[in-house]
Structure 1
Amino acid sequence: MSVSTRIAAGFAALTAILLALGVYALVQIGDVRHTVDMIVERDLASMEALNRIDHALSRKVEQRASLVQAFLTGDNSRVREATTGWRNAVEEAQRGIAEQERAAETYRDNSVTGARSELWARMARQLAEGDRALKQTRADVETQLAAIAAGDRAAVLATEADIVRDHAATVGRIGQARETLNVAIERGRDATRDVYNASRISIILGLMVAIVVAIAVAVTTRRSIVRPLDAFMGFVGRIGEGNLSTTTDVTGADELGRLGRTLNDMVGGLRTIATQNRAATNDLNAATTEIRASTQEQAASVEEQLAAVQETAATVDEITHSGAQITRRAQEVIAQAQATAQVSNAGLTAVADTARAMDAIREQAEAVATNIVALSEKTQAIGDIIATVNDVSERSHLLALNASIEAAAAGEQGRSFAIVASEMKQLADQAKGATRNVRSILGDIQRGINSSVMLTEEAVKRVASGKERTDAGHAAIEELATRVQENVQTFQQIVASTNQQQIGIEQVTIALQNIREASQQTAASTRQLDQAASDLGELSRTLVGLTERYRL
C-alpha cells in the first residue's frame, strides 16, 4: 500500500469513526429527547386530564349543592338548570376518566421502564375504581333527583349520605391516581436521567474508542512513514559525510520504497562519479608531474641554449676582431706591395729588400691563411650551434604542441597553460626562423672563407715564385713589379672579401642577439609554464584530497 493510500485510509478511518460517533451521539440525543418528550408529554397530558377530572368533579359537587339548595328553597327553574349542569359535569368527569384510563392502558404497553408500566397499570385500575365510584355516585344522585322530582324532602336528605360517601370514594380514587402519577413522574425523571447517563457513557466510550483508534492509526502511520524517513535521514547524513559504501534497506512498492531505490541509484551514480573523479584526478596529478618535469627539463635546455647563444656571440665577437686584424694586415700588405712596386725600378739593390718583403708577404699570407682556416673552423662551430638551436626550437615546438594538447584536455583550468604553450610555440617558431637565417649567412661566410683560402694559397705560391725570380735577376724585377701589382689587387680583393665577411659576421651578431632575446623570452615563458604546472599540481592535489573524503 502506498504512503498516500495509507494516509488517506487512516484519515478515512478517523473520519468514519468520528462520523459514526457523531451519528451515534445524534441517535442517543434523539433517544434521550424522544424519551424525555414522551415522558413529559404523557405526564403532562395525564396531569392535565386528572386536573380536568377534578375540575369536573368539583363542578359536579357545586351543581348538586346548588340543586339541593334550589329544591329546598323551591326554585324549580334553578333546579332544572343545576340538574343540567350536574349531568354535564358528571359526563365530563366520566369521559375524562375513561379517556385517561385508555391512555394509561396505552402507556402501560409501551412504557419506557417496567416501573412506569406497573404504575400506569395501577393508575388504570385506580381510574377504573374511580369510574365505578362515580357511576355509583351518579346512580345515587339520580335517585336523589327522582326524590326531588317527587318532592320527597326526606328521601332527598336520606340519599345525601350515600352521595357524599360515593363522591369521597371517587375523589379518593382520583387522588390515588394522582399520587400514582406523581410516582410515575418521579420514575420518569429517573428514567430520563438513566437514559441520559447511558447515552453519555456510551458517547464517552465511543469517544475513547475513537481516540484509541486515532492513536493506533497515528502510531501505525508514524511507524510506516516516520521510521523510514528517519532511516533516510541517517542514510543521507552518511552520504553527506562522504560514506558512499552503504545503501538503504528501505524498499518496497510505495513512495518510500521508490525513494529508497532512487537514493540507492543516486549513491551508485555518486560512487561511479567519485571513482571516475578519483582516477581522473590521479591521472591529472601524474600528468601535471610529468608536465612540470618536462618544463623543468625545457627550462634547463633553454638555459643551456641561452648559454650556447652567449658563447656563440662571444665567438662571433672574436671572429669580428680577427676579421678586423686581417683587414689591417691586408692593407699593410698592399702598402708594402705598392712600396715594392715603386722601389723595384730602383734596381738590383732593392732586390734584397724585395726578397725580404716577399718573405714578409709570404709569412703574412700564411698567417692570413691560418686565420682564415681558424675562421672557417669557428664558422663550422657556429653551424653546429645553429643545428643545436634548431634542435632546441623543434623540441620546444613539440613541447608546446604537447602542452596545448594537455591544456585542451584540462578544460577551463588549463586555459592559462594553453596561453603559455602558444607563446612557447611562437618563440620556437621565431628561433627556428632565426636559425635558418643564420645558417644562410654562415653559408655565405663559408663560401667567402673558402675563396679567401684559395686566394691566400695562390698568393703564397706567387710570392714564392716572385722570390725565385728575384733571385733569378734583374730581368725578373719588372715581372716581379707586375706580379706585386697583381698581388696588391689580390689583397684588395681579400680586403673586400674580408669586409663582406665582417658585414656577414655583424648580421650573425644581430641574429645571435635576436636568438638570445628569444631564448630569454622562452626562459621566461618556461618559468611561467613551470609556475602554471605547479599551480595545476596544487589543484590536482587539492582534488585528490577532496576525492579521498569519499569512502567507496
Structure 2
Amino acid sequence: MSIGNRVLLGFASIILLTGILGFYSLQQMDAVRTTTETILSRDIAALRQIQTARDNQYHMREARAAVVIRSLTGGNEAAVTPLIATWRSVATQTEASLNELLAAMQRREAVALSPDRMVAWRDVAQSVNQAVAVVRQIISQSNLQFQAVRTGDATGIVSAGEPLTALNEEFERAMQQMDQALDRAIRIGQERINSFYNGSQLSVLILLGGALLLAIVAVVLTRRSITRPIGVFMDFLEGIGRGDLTGTAPSSGRDEFARLGATLNSTVEGLRQLAKQSHAATENLNAAAAEIRASTQQQAASVEEQLAAVQETAATVDEITHAGAQVGKRAQEVIASAQATAQTSAAGVRAVGDTSRAMDAIREQAEAVAGNIVALSEKTQAIGDIISTVNDISERSHLLALNAALEAAAAGEHGRSFAVVAAEMKTLADQAKDATGQVRSILGDIQRGINSSVMLTEEAVKRVAAGKERTDTTLATINEITSRVQEGVHTFQQIIASTNQQQLGIEQVMTALQNIRQASQQTAVSTRQLDSAAGNLAGLAQQLVTFADRYRL
C-alpha cells in the first residue's frame, strides 16, 4: 500500500469513528429529549386535571351554598330552582373531570416508563377513586338537602349540611393524597430523566474513549509504517555522507519507499564510477604538477640574480635622490607649518571675536537673570504677607475655638456636639499655624538663596567685563603674529624654487633606473606567481587524491 493510501486510511478511520460517535450522541440526545418531553407532558397534564377537578368541586360547593343561603333567606322555589340546576351542571362536570382523571391515571399506569412510576400512578388513581366516591356521596347528600329546601324545612336543611361539611373535608384529604402521590410520581420522573441522562452521558463518554483509543492506534500504526522506512533511508544516506559507497538501499515492494530505494541505488552506482575515474585523473594531475613546479623554480633563481644587479645600481642613484628630496621635504614642511600657523592665527582671531560676542551675550543674560531674581524676591515678600494673614486667621480661629469650647461646657449635655466641633476647629487652627510656620521658614531660606544669587550674578557681570578687555588685547597680539608668519612663508618659497631646479636632473636619471628595475621586478613577480600556481596545482592534486581515497568502493 502506498504512503498516501496509508495516510488516507488512517484519516478515514478517524473520520468514521467521529461520525459514529456524533450519530450515537445525537441519538442519545434525541432519546433524552423524548423521555423528558413525555414525562413533563404527562406530569403537567395530570396537574392541570387535578386542579380542574378541585376547581369544579369548589364551584359545586359554592353553588350548593348559594341554594342554601337563598332558601334560608326566604327565597321561594322559583328562585331556588335555577340555582339547583346550576349546581347539578357543576356536579356533573366535577364527576366527569374526576372520571376523566381516573381514566388518564390508569392509562399512565399502563405505559409507565419505570415500575416506581407505575406504582406512583396507581396511588394517584386510588386517590382519584376515593375522590370520586366522596363526590358521589356529596351529590347524594346535597340532593337530600335540596329536598328539604323545596319543602322549606330549615331544620332539615341544617341537619343535611353537617354531613356535607365532613364529606368536603374528606374530599380535601383525598385531593391532598392525590397531590402527594402525584408529587412522588413527578419526583420519580425527574429521577428517571436524570438517570437516563447520566446513562446516556456515560455511554457517550465510553464510546468517545473507545474512539480516541482506536484513533491513537491508527495514528501510531500509520506513523510506524512511515517513520521506520525513513529511518532506514536516513542511515543509508548518512553512510554515503561518510564515504561508504558499498551499501544498498531497500527497494522491495510497490510503494514510494521502494521507488526511492531504487533511485538511490542507481545514484550510488553512478557515484562509484565517478570516484574511480576521479582517482585515476588526480594521480596523473599530481605528477604533471610536480614537473611544472621544478621548472619554474629554476627560472625564478635566474631572474632573482638579474634583479639583484639592477637593484644595486639603482640604490646609489636613489641615495642621491633621497638626499635632495630630504632638503625639499624639509622646506615644504617648514612652509606647511608656517601656513598652518597662519591659518591657526586667523582661526584664533575669529575665535577671540566669537568669545567677545559670547561674553557680551553672557553679560546681557546675567543682567536679565538678576532682574528676574529681584522680581522673584518681591513675589516672595508678597507670599510672606499672605502667610502673616493666614497666621492671624489661625490665631483668631484658635481663640474662636476656645470660646466655643467654653460655651459648650456651659451648655452641658446640649453642647457636647458643639464641643466636638470646637475641638476640631482648634486642631485645624493649630495645624494651620504650624504649616504657616514651616512655609515662613522655607520662604526665609528661599529669600536668602535669592540674595546670594543676586550677589553672584553681579560678580559674574563684573568678571565678564574684565574678560572682554583681556580678549581685545589678545586679538591685537594674534594679528601681529599672523603678519610675521606670512613674511617667513614667502622666504621659504624662494628656497624651494632653487632646490627644485637641482632635483630635475637627478630625477631624469632615476626614472631610467626605475624603468629597468620595474621590468626586472615584473619578471620576478611573474616567475614567483608561476611557481606559486604550480605549488597550488600540486596541492590541489594531492587534495583530490585524498578526497578520492575517502570513498570505499
Q: Shorter-chain TM-score: which interval?
A: 0.5 to 0.7
Shift in CA distance, 222/86, structure 1 to aligned 2, threshold 3 Å: same
1:259 lines up with 2:260 in the alignment = yes
d(CA) in 2 for partners of 1:80, 1:212 = 82
Q: 2:164 matched to which residue of 1?
A: 163
Amino acid at match of 1:213: L
**Alpha carbons 2:296, 2:531 under 8 Å: kept:** no
Q: Tell me the CA shift for residue 115 of structure 1.
A: 0.7
The whole-number CA distance in structure 1 between the counterparts of 2:251 and 2:138 is: 96
Name the counterpart of 1:244: 245
Shift of 1:265: 3.2
| Matched ranges for 1:318-329 at <5 A | none
Shift of 1:191: 1.1
1:16-415 counterparts in 2 under 5 A? 16-76=16-76, 79-249=80-250, 251-278=252-279, 282-286=280-284, 289=287
Summarize the Cα distance change of 1:6–1:80 in structure 2 as closer, same or farther, 3 Å threshold. Answer: farther
Secondary structure in structure 1 of the residue aligned to 2:201? helix
For 1:213 and 1:140, how far apart are their aligned partners in 2? 76
Could you tell me how far 1:526 is from its partner in structure 2? 12
**Is contact 1:53-1:93 (8 Å) kept?**
yes
Distance 1:288 1:530 in 2: 15
**For the Cα contact (< 8 Å) 2:292–2:534, is it kept in 1?**
no
Tell me, in whole angstroms, the C-alpha distance in 1 between the residues paired with 2:79 and 2:3. Answer: 95
TM-score, with normalisation over the residues of structure 1? 0.53
The verdict on how the C-alpha distance between 1:299 and 1:144 changes in structure 2, with shifts beyond 3 A counting, is: closer
How many angstroms does 1:167 deviate by? Answer: 3.5
1: distance between equivalents of 2:251 and 2:177? 81
Deviation at 1:155, TM superposition (A): 3.9
Report the counterpart of residue 462 of structure 1 in structure 2.
Answer: none
Q: What's the % identity of the aligned pairs? A: 30
* Cα contact 1:67–1:78 (8 A) shared by 2: no
1:39 to 1:245, Cα distance in 2 relative to 1, 3 A: same
Q: Does structure 2 retain, via aligned residues, the 8 Å contact 1:288–1:533?
A: no
Looking at structure 1, the residues matched to 135 and 293 of structure 2 have their Cα atoms a distance apart, in angstroms, of 141
The C-alpha deviation readout for 1:90-148, integer Å capped at 9, x for no partner, is: 23322322222222222223322221122112212321332232223222222332332
Q: How far off its partner does 1:246 sit?
A: 2.1
> Does structure 2 retain, via aligned residues, the 8 Å contact 1:52–1:96?
yes
Does the residue aligned with 1:248 lie in a helix, a strand or coil?
A: coil
Rounded Cα–Cα distance in structure 1 between residues aligned with 2:242 and 2:204 = 54
Extract unaligned runs of 5+ from structure 1: 301-524
Supply the distance in 1 between the matched residues of 2:529 and 2:201 (Cα, whole angstroms).
93
Looking at structure 2, the residues matched to 56 and 551 of structure 1 have their Cα atoms a distance apart, in angstroms, of: 110
Cα distance in 2 for residues equivalent to 1:47 and 1:250: 79
Q: Partner residue of 1:431?
A: none
Residue identity opposite 1:255 in structure 2? E
Distance verdict in 2 for CA 1:225–1:73, change over 3 Å: same
1:267 Cα deviation from its structure 2 partner: 2.6
Cα distance in 2, alignment partners of residues 154 and 528 from structure 1: 155
Q: C-alpha displacement at 1:294, in angstroms?
A: 9.4
> Distance in 2 between the 1:237 and 1:298 partners?
44
Shift of 1:182: 0.4
AA partner of residue 183 (structure 2): N
Q: Which has the higher contact order (CA 8 A, sep 6+)?
A: 2
Change (3 A) 1:129 1:226: same
Consecutive unaligned residues in structure 2, runs of 5 or more: 299-525
TM normalised by structure 2 equals: 0.53
- Conserved in 1, the CA contact under 8 Å of 2:248 and 2:265? yes
Alpha carbons of structure 1 residues 295 and 70: separation in structure 2 relative to 1, 3 Å: closer
Report which of the two structures shows the higher radius of gyration computed on alpha carbons: 1
CA contact (8 A) 2:229 2:257 kept: yes
- Measured after TM superposition, the shift of residue 47 of structure 1 is 1.2
Distance 1:94 1:290, change over 3 A: same
- Matched position secondary structure for 2:124: helix
Contact 2:289 2:537 (8 Å CA) reproduced:
no
Matching residue's letter, 2:283:
N
Q: Number of matched residues?
A: 330
Once the 2 structures are TM-superposed, how far is the Cα of residue 86 of structure 1 from its aligned partner?
A: 2.1
Question: What is the CA–CA distance in structure 2 between the aligned matches of 1:92 and 1:262, rounded to whole Å?
Answer: 96
Aligned to 1:159, the other structure's residue is in SS state helix
